[in-house]
Chains A and B, each alone.
Chain A
């Protein structure tokens, strides 16, 4: 019958493909071809680049679903909140207007590593995306020390599942408005809701969490201040006035504390257990994304380097046709496009471009170094082993230290970097350094600094709280280089902190150099 003939026609076409040695031909993809391409790419990646990856789960999604994923910060599941709706509308608008194409892929740091592929992609693009995400990003997630130490790839999905369900149950029990108020407030503090210096505790398993929650609920039901058997200390108030008392108090509360969400979750006087749990959920989500934000250049650089290298290797081995390779290269060069600062299209440094250039530069330095490189990088120049050098860099650095360590003068010349000093008091910028002998060190340090999240975000800490007095929560903002907080945002955020804390909150701006107080703002001055 005719239908059978058409089917056998298809198989013969696929047979031709494998005969000619190409992984695929034409732009259509199917699961068999995807799988064949993945296996070829993985084999080369492990053999030639020595990558070490989590198992991969590839999910095919439509553009609508990609937009959905965008708006829930790229996670496959997320609790419900209006702000995600707002982001969705924004992304949708950009997409509809054609102002921005969608990403070809999205990858989630989990074990197994989940890679989203868009159904609209051609087969050539799917191969590119597989190399980029399923191998490049995947390797980085598994091996970079920040991800290894700070996030728990195997627990995140089950945690988000729990979070979504928990918040939905809270909405049923306490009303959407009450839950929203807490999430709004916690979202405002997400930037200040991460441990920067000490490692966060590991996520506990679902059963442990269940146990803790039951205990909290029991305590909530059975607690009654009437049954307090310890006598109140008479001199408690007196002691708190003295320096000794303050020191003691700070010690018991573990002050100063940089993680505001953590502090509020543990010490707030008004939050109910379910509210604490919500604050905790937001904090854990913030913590999960913290390493990603510190490794943009490296993560994208690693993935871009991997896909570029792998695709070229596949092409050299005759596994990809010239047409497909051209399409891949066109997309590749779109991704790494970097306009100059005076170009109207300039919107900051493209992490893909900088990352790829640095990786390739390291490759160059270790294989064919110049005299200058030997001078600057005595330990890696000419060691001939670019694979191990890169693997080592990927495992042990974040953007800041990576740039500080590996940005070479050659690359600074290529990019024609310069530093523009910007003082608010002056009517003009001043060019401080350019890519010359005197400027290299400064540019490298400056660029590294700009990727240091700890330095570029406002440094705000809890310094004191008088639990027996007016219970005012005292925060301190270390003002560096005279950069103060934007006032409307500061006041609105302080109001949110008051919601979580329950009493007045004050924020003192302390000059980091002199230690002098610049100003102090309290929620009692702000009003509703």
Chain B
């Protein structure tokens, strides 16, 4: 008699520790891979699983092994069809149909999948987010159970007694389950008959008939249960996502010639971070991309990041466009509106006044939050520091910043500077819920 052990319920993921160790070892290369993906992929796709190829450095397992291209050796192979001793077979070239053994894909050339959590960990790494924020962003939408009718299966705690008894009653009527009263009546009759001393034949027959009837009814009662499993109904619950309003995120970016690869890369991360935040808070988030030079237009993500356009810089056109789109498609009583703007700060001097006007007049009233980053050269960062003088757009927005608490602005030179722009957003979450 063998011993049986059921291990299926043992804790899963026994290899998780090893997996983490491996990822840690390959961290640098994985990070680069994630960064490439952010550069080339879509903003909305960042927080999902991601296949990466096996990092080459740091994960090799060397050992002494024979060099394939040296010496003399023999291969013993099965399936000879027409060879005779002395026949010569040309060696296969690179990738040719192989006759030499050992042609399987090596373990070092494969791609594997990082989970969403692992991708986000790598993405957050040089953004220097506080841990609390990281946790918040990784959290998946919460669900609330909501009553949704009845079900024939469920856990005992969810039994709906009313429904169950109603079904039971119907079934008992349909199958004509004898009632207790009927039984009692017959038993009473029997008792009366038996109590009488005389034993006339018809009376005895009557007693026997009654007994039989009583027995039949009792058997029937036993066969037809009072409450049968088929009667039982359970309350059914649906996992309902916690109701959230919709959000729309406007990405505004200056695409004139002065925005180079580095600037666009930083801008993209800025947008990704805001999008992650919105995606966590809202059921449905949409993204609108508006690019501008001296004129603005709504474009798709591809065009937004990869097409360059020549022209001057008139920021107010983008704001106008944004306002127009809000009016047309995103009524502010239905949508939470967020905006993120990235620019190098260049603007026509006369236009900056117009921007202040637009912001004060309409846009800031419509927006939940408006974040502006000015991407500057790393060498410039220590010159500007926190001074208020700077580009014309910076000076204009400084005015807006003083009047509106939901406006944030910052100069960023590298990825770690991005987070402070959002600090407020993450700090006071409940207040931001719109009372629509």
Which A residues lie at the B interface, using CB under 8 A? 1-3, 31, 34-35, 38-39, 55-62, 64-65, 67-68, 71-72, 80-90, 92-93, 112, 116, 119, 134, 176, 180, 184, 187-192, 338-344, 346-349, 415-424, 427-435, 438-439, 443, 446-447, 449-450, 458, 460, 477, 479-490, 492-493, 496
Contact = CB atoms under 8 A, between A and B. Distances in A.
Per DSSP, are chain A's interface residues mostly helix, strand or loop, or mixed? Answer: mixed
B91 interface: yes
Interface stretch (B69-77, B300-308, B369-377): B69-77
A71 B5 contact: no
A85 B15 contact: yes
Contacts of B62: 188, 488-489, 492-493, 496
21 contacts: A35-B2, A55-B3, A58-B3, A59-B7, A65-B14, A68-B15, A86-B22, A90-B110, A187-B63, A342-B97, A417-B80, A422-B72, A428-B88, A431-B85, A432-B85, A481-B73, A483-B72, A486-B66, A487-B67, A492-B60, A493-B62
Contact of B20 (A85, A92, A190): A85
B380 interface: no
B61 interface: yes
Contacts of A187: 61, 63
Contacts of A429: 75, 88-91, 99-100
Given A72-B18, A338-B78, A446-B74, 6 more contacts: A85-B21, A116-B7, A341-B77, A347-B103, A429-B100, A480-B71
Given A430-B86, A493-B62, A340 B78 contact: yes
B67 A486 contact: yes
Contacts of A484: 66-67, 70-71
B329 interface: no
Interface stretch (B134-142, B178-186, B223-231, B330-338): B223-231
Contacts of A435: 80
B18 A85 contact: yes
B79 interface: yes
Given A65-B8, A119-B8, A416 B78 contact: yes
B63 A493 contact: yes
Given A341-B79, A486-B68, A60 B7 contact: yes
A128 B435 CA distance: 67
Given A31-B4, A71-B18, A342-B99, A421 B74 contact: yes
A2 B225 contact: yes
Contacts of B25: 82, 180
B385 interface: no
Interface string B1-32: 11111111010111101111111110000000
B7 A460 contact: no
Contacts of B54: 86
A415 B81 CA distance: 11
Nearest to B25: A82
B101 interface: yes
B90 A427 contact: yes
Interface string B110-124: 111100000000000
B391 interface: no
Interface residues of B, number: 71
Contacts of A60: 4-8
A1 B15 contact: no
Given A35-B1, A64-B12, A485-B66, A422 B100 contact: yes
A39 B225 CA distance: 42
B378 interface: no
B102 interface: yes
A331 to B, nearest CB: 21
Contacts of A38: 1-2
Contacts of A134: 2
A381 B69 CA distance: 43
B244 interface: no
B419 to A, nearest CB: 29
A429 B74 CA distance: 9
A488 B229 CA distance: 71
B74 A422 contact: yes
A432 B21 contact: no
Nearest to B21: A82
A430 to B, nearest CB: 5
B199 interface: no
A191 B63 contact: yes
B18 A418 contact: no
Given A55-B2, A65-B8, A432-B85, A85 B64 contact: no
Contacts of A423: 71-72
Contact of A483 (B59, B67, B91, B103): B67
B66 A458 contact: yes
Contact of A61 (B8, B79, B100): B8
A55 B4 CA distance: 12
What are the nearest 4 A-B pairs in CB distance?
A: A340-B79, A85-B22, A483-B71, A492-B62
